[in-house]
A and B are shown apart, each in its own frame.
Chain A
């Protein structure tokens, strides 16, 4: 559950970097930051994969 929520948070952060709203820890202070967006998209995928592993399995 927690990892799934984390994945959604990462997707939101990725979207904010992609549209240029988020400028935290970036070299340029304006415009979209696609590298950061791609990184958070990858982290989101990793979180969803981890969430799927942590999900209780039916026998």
Chain B
């Protein structure tokens, strides 16, 4: 489960959907309706979030520093300060929906059939993004622009509007549905918001960390009850982090869609 979660988290295939579906397909002894199942999944996500934190550690130091500097000063002067505020704006929609729709979301985790349905919906969404992209490519080809020239029309994560950041954040909230890919839908949302492909992937990965850490702080303590194999779960989270780190290392992943 840890390897599966970590390897699939950064690809637009919904790690959550697979985490719900695969145990049923393989007849593993996980009970998706068990109260510890969702905290376990959140723990696995914490493993991947830790990998993302390590990968983007220098950016995160600048972002956290930028947040406090800008918040106290009341002005955004640097890119890191602006990015920190955009991440805050992008995190709020998922946080609000996650807390208020918690029980409804958790009920979806108990059904592999619903996860399978959302995986199909995810495939259709990805296909839709691909169709939109190819249409844009055809238009660009007609005007004789190279790939770099096309990308130059779009912007970096630090330059998008707060409304666009909130839109991408709202897209991220859709990924609470097991089967809808968080990275896929936020990268797609980022592209629609005017980000370059590489920047959409970077913004997506940065946006994942606060929500996963927040969910971890609120959900993981529930694991520390009697009868829960915490050691095994922690080992799975470690494997999840290693798999996520390994899958994010190839630079091609950070250029999703640009090839």
Chain A residues within 8 Å of B124, by CB: none
- The answer to whether B100 and A55 touch across the interface, beta carbons within 8 angstroms, is no
Number of A-B contacts (CB under 8 A): 33
Give the complex CA separation of A27 and B102 in angstroms: 8
Q: State how many angstroms separate the Cβ of B19 from the closest Cβ of chain A.
A: 21
Give the complex CA separation of A46 and B76 in angstroms: 15
Partner of B99, one of A35, A49, A52, A55: A35
- The answer to whether A52 and B71 touch across the interface, beta carbons within 8 angstroms, is yes
Chain A residues within 8 Å of B72, by CB: 52
Interface residues of B (CB under 8 A from A): 70-72, 74-76, 85, 88, 92, 95-96, 99-100, 102-103, 214, 217-218
Asked if A5 CB lies within 8 Å of chain B CBs, one says no
Interface string of A19-59 (1 = CB under 8 A from B): 00000010100000011101100110010010011010100
- The answer to whether A42 and B95 touch across the interface, beta carbons within 8 angstroms, is yes
Give the complex CA separation of A25 and B97 in angstroms: 11
- The answer to whether B74 and A35 touch across the interface, beta carbons within 8 angstroms, is no
- The answer to whether A27 and B103 touch across the interface, beta carbons within 8 angstroms, is yes
Chain B residues within 8 Å of A42, by CB: 92, 95
Q: State how many angstroms separate the Cβ of B78 from the closest Cβ of chain A.
A: 15
- The answer to whether B88 and A39 touch across the interface, beta carbons within 8 angstroms, is no
- The answer to whether B100 and A25 touch across the interface, beta carbons within 8 angstroms, is yes
Chain B residues within 8 Å of A55, by CB: 74
Partner of A43, one of B75, B85, B92, B103: B92
| A49-B102 CB under 8 A given contacts A38-B218, A39-B95, A57-B75 | no
Partner of A52, one of B74, B96, B218: B74
Q: List 10 additional A-B contacts (Cβ < 8 Å) besides A43-B96, A49-B88.
A: A25-B100, A27-B103, A35-B99, A35-B218, A39-B99, A42-B92, A43-B92, A53-B76, A55-B74, A57-B74
Chain A residues within 8 Å of B70, by CB: 49
List, sorted by A's number, 9 A–B pairs whose CB atoms are closer than 8 Å.
A27-B103, A43-B96, A46-B88, A46-B92, A49-B71, A49-B85, A52-B74, A53-B74, A53-B75
8 smallest CB-CB distances across A and B, nearest first, come from A52-B74, A27-B103, A39-B99, A49-B71, A35-B218, A35-B99, A25-B100, A53-B74
Chain B residues within 8 Å of A57, by CB: 74-75
Chain A residues within 8 Å of B102, by CB: 27, 35
